[in-house]
Amino acid sequence: MITRDSRVKDLLKNPIAHDVIGRLVQYAGVSESLILNPVVKNLKLSAVPKFAGKRVKDADTIVDTMIDLFNQEGGTRPVSPSSGKAWWKEAVIYQIYPRSFMDGNGDGVGDIPGLVQKLDYLHGLGVTALWLSPIFDSPNDDNGYDVRDYRAIMKEFGTMADVETLIKELHERDMRLILDLVVNHTSDEHEWFVDSVKNPDGEHGDYYIWRKTKGNTPPNNWNSFFSGPAWDKVNERDEWYLHLFSKKQPDLNWENENVRADVRSIVGFWRGKGVDGFRLDVINYISKTSLDDGNETLGGLLGFCGIEHYFYGKRLHEYLHELRVGAFQDAFTVGETPGTGPEMNKLLTADERQELNTVFNFDHLENLGKSRFDDYRYNLNHLKKCFIGYESDYADYAWPSVFVENHDNPRMVSKIDAREDYRDAIAKLLAVLLLTARGTVFLYQGQELGAVNVPFHDISELRDIESVNRYDTMISDGTSEKEAWQTVLRGTRDHARTPMQWDAGEYGGFSEHEPWIRVGDKDECNVEMQTRDENSVLSAYRALIALRKEHPALVYGTFEPFEANKEDVFCYFRDDGAERFYIEVNLCARTIRRPKQAAETELLFSNYIAQDDAMQPYEANVYRVEKKES
Ligand code: TEU
Ligand code: CA
């Protein structure tokens, strides 16, 4: 038990505290050496506020909130190692943003029949499952992440019959379907919310998080992730409701057991249709420990106020276990869990606890203390450090998910090095790291072509609510148009949301009609071109996926870093006893010395044609290691 009498160094022994400190280093750019400083280490927690002095005026509340958070797992037993094979551990899952994948009916918006036309392409690529960003009926304030009806299909995407066809066609190809379930919040047009507004004492009166206040100030100081306060007032009820995302995305009240029963019934409905798994949107936010004010210092560091009250809420594990036992059962689940750390993730995914199968950790997406809106060049040594963390001991207890792209992030190739000369090598380097990783692999549409960021001209070309709100807020706060635009352009989620580039046609082969969002560099980068080229990024992905499927060592084998302390190279072995592989990657744009490795090897894949003593910029190789006959 941690109390105000505990010392800072005791915190390092508490797994939850350890995670929280890791979060501060990753997201707030707090220096590790500050915490490890001998004077700080020996401070009693009660002395921290005084030590922090006037700079952190609310240090007392941080200390108390954190003590509660750390003690949350006070009596929790450590988890045992996880083992055993499963289809989802071996899966190469391809994420589709349905609005932008393929337009089947020529209205400029992607749809399910369009996707069905492309199943042979996906099967040929070798991916074994598809995750579809939300396809449910929605007013599209956040492109489907605001659900109006969980049992109906978004009109623009097609019909229930189309989805049934998709499931059948996938299963015939031995592929699986994973749906995106958004149940931290609904749309404000969902019938539950409409009824909740009208009938505070009715069946749905308590389905959302409503609070009264005196006057015109919101119930607390929390921020929405899409700018502005996380509360909005409804005059009809004379109350405020919580929305961590847009005001058209009210948060559900999970403390109400009818809400939880309804969510279980939605899961049952889709399992009945043959869906194989679920990606659970911001699932770690569902339990709100309290509605107290967020700590302003923490809020300032993290960019959003209030997170400490819901990113790892008191009842999170209870809700997830209830869902697993009562609804998911053997369906696959991957939780989107922004902000949790490795020890928390072990508790969320350990086999014996029956909560989730795996979670997305985001630490590797940005360098320490950086956000996607910052102006900086990504250093791949950080990715190495994170991947070593995920794939080593952690993976003995909690099966990782590995990915570098999704619909919420600019393209990874652009983040690392925007120079066209290196595009091909970096795209293939990422393919090597993912497809030889110990974890479930997630690819995002277009990644298999080496897609890069889109040179949008101005705010009128962007569609994403996050970008548009952020831009407007910056302008109204007095930022110049130029600076606001450059910031939003760096981080906009729309880089990943432009149409899939099938060929060099006017709209990239995506549609006959002008698409809902502009197209990227389809003349230089498209499926048709890369299919013909055996050295293309697409061909590399195909080869590496096939390699992974052929060799279980690349999935289940041990992960053994080699020369881990050397900067700018990332080398490791994968070994399942039967076979051994060696992976060797140059993480920088310089030619570097090739690390010496004694075993005899056979080269299976390289992103360069010829090899010599030095490693070329971003060179990445996969070798089979000759096993000595014993
Ligand atoms: O994202 C949750 C999330 O925390 C972020 O990655 C988010 O995209 C945002 O940029 C925070 O600054 C999930 C979905 O993946 C995202 O598309 C949705 O907009 C969001 O939840 C709300 O449902
Ligand atoms: Ca369409």
pLDDT at 560: 98
pLDDT digits (tens, 9 = 90+) for 506-552: 999 999 999 999 999 999 999 999 999 999 999 999 999 999 999 99
Residue to mutate (ligand 1; options 372, 408, 493; most atoms within 8 A of CB): 408
pLDDT digits (tens, 9 = 90+) for 353-365: 999 999 999 999 9
pLDDT at 629: 65
Residue closest to 24 by CA, chosen among 299, 376, 398, 377: 299
Mean of pLDDT values over 266-284: 98
CA distance 232 to 240: 5
Residues with CB under 5 A from ligand 2 (ion): 103, 105, 107, 109, 111
pLDDT at 612: 84
Mean pLDDT of the chain: 96
Other Cβ atoms within 10 Å of 8 Cβ, number: 21
Mean of pLDDT values over 319-346: 97
Separation of CA 126 and ligand 2 centre (Å) = 26
pLDDT at 54: 79
CB-based contacts of 330: which residues, under 8 Å, 6+ apart? none
Separation of CA 517 and ligand 2 centre (Å) = 13
CA distance 472 to 262: 37
Q: Catalytic site residue 521? A: no
pLDDT at 58: 87
Residue to mutate (ligand 1; options 245, 488, 493; most atoms within 8 A of CB): 245
Does 282 contact ligand 1 (Cβ within 6 A)?
A: yes
Q: Catalytic site residue 281? A: yes
Backbone angles phi, psi at 443, to 5 degrees: -110, 150
Does 182 contact ligand 1 (Cβ within 6 A)?
A: yes
Mean of pLDDT values over 11-16: 89
Q: Which two tokens stand for residue 526?
A: 């498209």
Q: In what order do the strands lie in the sheet with 358-360?
A: 358-360, 332-336, 277-280, 176-181, 129-132, 92-96, 440-444, 401-402
Helices (H) and strands (E) counted in the chain, each on its own, are: 24, 20
Which residue's CA lies nearest to atom 20 of ligand 1?
A: 145
Does 285 contact ligand 1 (Cβ within 6 A)?
A: no
Which residue's CA lies nearest to atom 1 of ligand 1?
A: 282
* Among the bound ligands, the one closest to the CA of 114: 2
Mean of pLDDT values over 262-278: 98
- pLDDT above 70 for 618: yes
- pLDDT above 80 for 184: yes
**466 CA: nearest ligand 1 atom:** 10
- pLDDT above 80 for 628: no
Mean of pLDDT values over 424-438: 98
* Among the bound ligands, the one closest to the CA of 140: 1
* Among the bound ligands, the one closest to the CA of 466: 1
Backbone angles phi, psi at 279, to 5 degrees: -100, 125
**145 CA: nearest ligand 1 atom:** 23
Mean of pLDDT values over 130-155: 98
- pLDDT above 90 for 19: yes
Separation of CA 155 and ligand 2 centre (Å) = 10
Mean of pLDDT values over 592-600: 94
Amino acid at 62: I
pLDDT at 321: 98
CA distance 301 to 242: 22
Which residue's CA lies nearest to atom 10 of ligand 1?
A: 408
Q: Annotated catalytic residue: which of 19, 281, 308, 464?
A: 281
CA distance 18 to 1: 14
Separation of CA 614 and ligand 2 centre (Å) = 50
Q: Annotated catalytic residue: which of 188, 239, 336, 466?
A: 336
Q: Which two tokens stand for residue 341?
A: 């750390």
Percent residues over pLDDT 70 in the chain: 100
pLDDT at 109: 98
Report the DSSP pairing between strands 358-360 and 210-211.
Answer: unpaired
> Cα angle at 437 between 436 and 440, to 5 degrees?
115
Q: Which two tokens stand for residue 209?
A: 């998080």
pLDDT at 191: 98
Does 362 contact ligand 1 (Cβ within 6 A)?
A: no
* Among the bound ligands, the one closest to the CA of 95: 1
> Cα angle at 524 between 522 and 529, to 5 degrees?
85
Q: Which two tokens stand for residue 281?
A: 């949107």
pLDDT at 138: 98
Does 245 contact ligand 1 (Cβ within 6 A)?
A: yes
Beta bridge partners of 621: 584, 606
Separation of CA 148 and ligand 2 centre (Å) = 20
User: What does 119-139 look like in DSSP terms, one character per residue?
Assistant: HHHHHHHT--EEEESP-EE--
- pLDDT above 80 for 630: no
SS3 state of residue 515: coil
pLDDT at 32: 86
- The answer to whether the predicted template modeling score (pTM) of the entire model surpasses 0.85 is yes
SS3 state of residue 218: coil
Q: H or E element: which one contains 539?
A: helix 537-550
